[in-house]
Every structure is written in C-alpha cells, then in structure tokens.
Amino acid sequence: MAKAFKYGLKGITGFLEPAERELLRSLFDDVISMLEPEDRGNQDPLAAMIGLDMDVKEPSDRALRRLLPNVVKDDGAASLEFRQLTERSLRESKIGALRAAALELDKDELVLTAADARHWSTALNDVRLVLAERLDIRDEADADHVHQMQDWSQAEDVESYLALVYNFTTWLQESLVQAMLQSLETRP
C-alpha cells in the first residue's frame, strides 16, 4: 500500500508500491500523449520555436479543453487569439511537469524537493481532470458518487475501475498538498 506524503527534514517523502508506480506512469504517459501537439510538417519552425501556433483550434476533446481552457468566457475569437500565443508553451510546461513526475517513479522511496513536489501536484491534478471528464463528473453530487467507490474487489467494469483510480490519485494528491502546505508554513 502507498504511504501518504509527509513533510520532514528530508523534504517531502512518500512511498509507492511497484504496481502503483506502474499505474501512475501509464496515467502520466496517457496525459502526455494527449497534450503532445500534432506534428504538422508545414509549421513555420521559427514560429514554433518562440511558441506561436497560428493554426491552433479550440480542442474538440472535452478533457483536453479542460486542460487548455478558453481564457475569455463566451468569446471564442479573443480566446483563439490568446491560444495562438500561449497554448503551445502551456502544453509544453504541462508535459514537462508530467515527465518530471514520471522520472521520480524510478525510485522506491519518493523524496521530493519543492520543485519536484510542484511538478507532482500539477501532474496529478491534470491526470485527475482527465479522469473526471472520462467519468462524467459534472458537479459535486457526481464527485460524491464516484467517491463512494473505495473497494477494489468491486472493480467489475471500466467505469468502476476508473473511479477507483480517480479516488487513489485524489488521495495521493491531497496528502501531497497537505505536505506542501506544511512546507509553506515552515518556510523562512
């Protein structure tokens, strides 16, 4: 069984079983592949280098739209203009955090610096946002319903399995954030 993250002298530490590490690795990889921009051969390399993407569109996938939301409510044109300037680098920073978190999974015991912890918390959060869309969590009542699912012996279909995975990542993120909040309190 995984152990909750703790804040102590070594920084933020945690422990995950091999099967849990494999699960997280595949979740991080899934979200990375969702976020990787499609390779467009005719892309202007200079524009790509400085993060511009003039051909960008609002994502059609709901989960991806939650990860890369419109910046102006009810204004598609203004949001699209903003996307052209920022979406590529937002995707890259999210992928960077997910990759950094995945790298930490190579060790049995997790010992996280403040920067590692930040990568982990955003990576876990992005995983949870994607799982929540797949589970159709629209409001607090849906979230409560999914939260009821705690017993792995009940996992009989994809949805119940996803719900258990969602609850595991929620628990893990909550313990990490509590440790991070503690580290904020004791900062000089």
Partner 1 sequence: MTLSVALGPDTQESTQTGTAESTDALTAPDIPWNLVIWNDPVNLMSYVSFVFQSYFGYSESKANKLMMEVHKKGRSIVAHGSKEQVEQHAVAMHGFGLWATVEKATGGNSGGGKNGGPGKGRGKRG
| Binding-site member from 13, 86, 160, 167 for partner 1 (CB under 8 A) | 86
Closer CB to partner 1, 108 or 148, in the complex: 148
The answer to whether the CB of 83 falls within 8 A of the CB of 32 is no
Q: State CA 120 to chain mean position distance.
A: 8
Closer CB to partner 1, 109 or 171, in the complex: 171
Does residue 167 belong to the site contacting partner 1 (CB under 8 A)?
A: no
What does the DSSP assignment read for 65-127? HHHS--SSTT-HHHHHHHHHHHHHHHHHHHHHHHHHHHHHTTSSEEEE-HHHHHHHHHHHHHH
Does residue 129 belong to the site contacting partner 1 (CB under 8 A)?
A: yes
Nearest distance in Å: CB 137, partner 1: 5
Which 21-80 positions form the footprint of partner 1 (CB under 8 A)?
66-73
Closer CB to partner 1, 22 or 115, in the complex: 115
